[in-house]
Amino acid sequence: MRLDWLIIGGGIHGVHIAARLLGEARVSADALRIIDPADRLLMRWRSCTRITGMTHLRSPVVHHLDLNPRSLKRFASDYRSTSTRTFAPPYDLPALGLFDAHCDQVVETFGLAERHIQERVVGMHIGCEGVSVRLSGGDELTAGNIVLAIGASEQPRRPAWAPTESERVQHVFEEGFDAWPCEARERVAVVGGGISAGQVALRLKKEGHDVHLVSRHALRQHQFDSDPGWLGPKFMSSFGREPDLDRRRAMIVEARHQGSVPPDIERGLRTALAREEIRWHEGEVEGLASKERALKLRLTTGESLEVQRVLLATGFRSERPGGAMLDELIASASLPCADYGYPIVDASLRWHPRVHVCGPLAELELGPASRNIAGARRAGDRLVSVARAQRTTGRWQACVSTRGIDRGGAGAHLNDATCLPKKVAAHIQTIQRSSSTSSHRNTLPVPL
Ligand SMILES: Cc1cc2nc3c(=O)[nH]c(=O)nc-3n(C[C@H](O)[C@H](O)[C@H](O)COP(=O)(O)OP(=O)(O)OC[C@H]3O[C@@H](n4cnc5c(N)ncnc54)[C@H](O)[C@@H]3O)c2cc1C
């Protein structure tokens, strides 16, 4: 099968980008597919959000998966829920049920379920005809453009002391998580200091369990997980002007309010702590011993805590997602990466003229909000421009590896320029000539 656009990952980012390409860039539905191993799009989003017991999103009403920013607000006027407020103050935070129903509508409007291939991508190769993608079932697809929308949800962070095989010590975002307490009242330790840990602790409390919250730090309150100034020129202009990628990375880390909770969760936790409905333990876990039905956590403070179950709400690992599949692609096409492993992409989110990124993989271009719904919308803006430009300039069959560009004309790849239109090949040769004279650790892929 030969496609124009193949989106790898059917989460928040993959679905939004598919909708934008079909609805705004007029990509033909027959020429676009989304690959995701789940039997339904947005499965990871739904399982992660359901387990926390969250009632509302942390992001405001304009952050959703449809094209028009006002779409969710309009959709809400016909939506009725008996259990939760449609929007929570102070920033119109949508109810999770409302948001999910609106996602369903987006999937239906753009016929995305029919574009979904339920498979996992296990390998990729960039060739003259496009990018060939190997699927776990053994099939192969070729696409003119691919979008890596793989998110980070497949890599929950498990502390070193946590056993991997225990039924009673599990990460709440583990795929197929099934360790929610089954007895009427269990003594449970929730490990983590951010919004998910807070929400899980409050859900357990509501269900009548004896809850112990173990956090490395005191409660930190922030409405959003980064300042809204990062969504516009206020902070993004200086970020975009920063040429040093290590410095950009430092700006991202500093800007993210990791391990923070919004005011409503903070209030809920403080009330529960004051009433001794949740117990607070500030310290790092340094070891866990298990004996019959009891699990004993040893904290760096010297305290020890005996529980029946440990739920980890310790977020996701920060290393580049994509594992061996991306390692191979990077090696075979010499794709440029920053020292900490993340893609160096151009302003159009191109890692290679045929390979586009979003979500965590786009953070060096989109900044601290790249992983969020707002980041998906920013990525959508850029990819719509790419698709529109491809339509107006006519499709071209590129076979360009950044190796030739980054390393000053390794030669082999330039030969492949025979399959490029003359104008594009000439442009690449100019870049290769100029790049052979300078250092290119931070060189971006061909700016077409
Ligand atoms: C509990 C929770 C609440 C959140 N709340 C908010 C919020 O209120 N507002 C906000 O803006 N953000 C929120 N976020 C952050 C962010 O928006 C979500 O994490 C979002 O789900 C990220 O979407 P994604 O598409 O990047 O990743 P995912 O949802 O992880 O989707 C990626 C998909 O790619 C698939 N995939 C991976 N590798 C392959 C492969 N090789 N082949 C095929 N498919 C592959 C995965 O299986 C997965 O289905 C929240 C996150 C969590 C965990």
User: 360 CA to middle of ligand 1, Å?
Assistant: 10
Going by alpha carbons, the residue nearest to atom 45 of ligand 1 is 9
Judge if 2-154+318-393 and 169-222+257-312 fold alike in CATH terms: yes
User: 276 CA to middle of ligand 1, Å?
Assistant: 34
pLDDT in tens, 318-371: 999 999 999 999 999 999 999 999 999 999 999 999 999 999 999 999 999 999
pLDDT in tens, 275-333: 999 999 999 999 999 988 899 999 999 999 999 999 999 999 999 999 999 999 999 99
CA distances to 87, 120, 134, 324, 380 from 115, rounded to whole Å, are: 31, 15, 17, 26, 18
The per-residue pLDDT for 432 is 39
Instruction: Show the beta-strand stretches assigned E in 32-120.
Output: 32-35, 87-88, 93-94, 116-117
Does the C-beta of 151 come closer than 6 Å to ligand 1?
Answer: yes
Both tokens of 111, joined, read 């016929």
Going by alpha carbons, the residue nearest to atom 23 of ligand 1 is 12
Pocket of ligand 1, candidates 20, 139, 150, 311: which has the most ligand atoms within 8 Å of its Cβ, to mutate? 150
Q: Which CATH superfamily is domain 169-222+257-312 in?
A: FAD/NAD(P)-binding domain (3.50.50.60)
User: 150 CA to middle of ligand 1, Å?
Assistant: 8
User: 123 CA to middle of ligand 1, Å?
Assistant: 21
Closest CA to 249 of 381, 405, 370, 372: 370
Does the C-beta of 12 come closer than 6 Å to ligand 1?
Answer: yes
Going by alpha carbons, the residue nearest to atom 1 of ligand 1 is 49
H or E segment at 215?
strand 210-215
Show the low-confidence residues of the chain (pLDDT under 70): 1, 82, 394-448
Burial class (CB in 10 A: 0-12, 13-18, 19+), 122: middle
CATH number 3.30.40.10 given to 2-154+318-393: no
User: 308 CA to middle of ligand 1, Å?
Assistant: 30
CA distances to 89, 149, 173, 301, 340 from 359, rounded to whole Å, are: 27, 6, 18, 37, 16
Q: How many residues does the chain have?
A: 448
The per-residue pLDDT for 2 is 75
User: 190 CA to middle of ligand 1, Å?
Assistant: 22
H or E segment at 145?
strand 140-148
The per-residue pLDDT for 81 is 72
The per-residue pLDDT for 1 is 66
Can you give the residue ranges of every domain in the chain? 2-154+318-393, 169-222+257-312, 397-448
- Ligand 1 atom nearest the C-alpha of 316 is 53
pTM: predicted TM-score of the whole model, two decimal places = 0.90
| Cβ-contact 64, 373 below 8 angstroms | yes
User: 426 CA to middle of ligand 1, Å?
Assistant: 40
- Ligand 1 atom nearest the C-alpha of 325 is 41
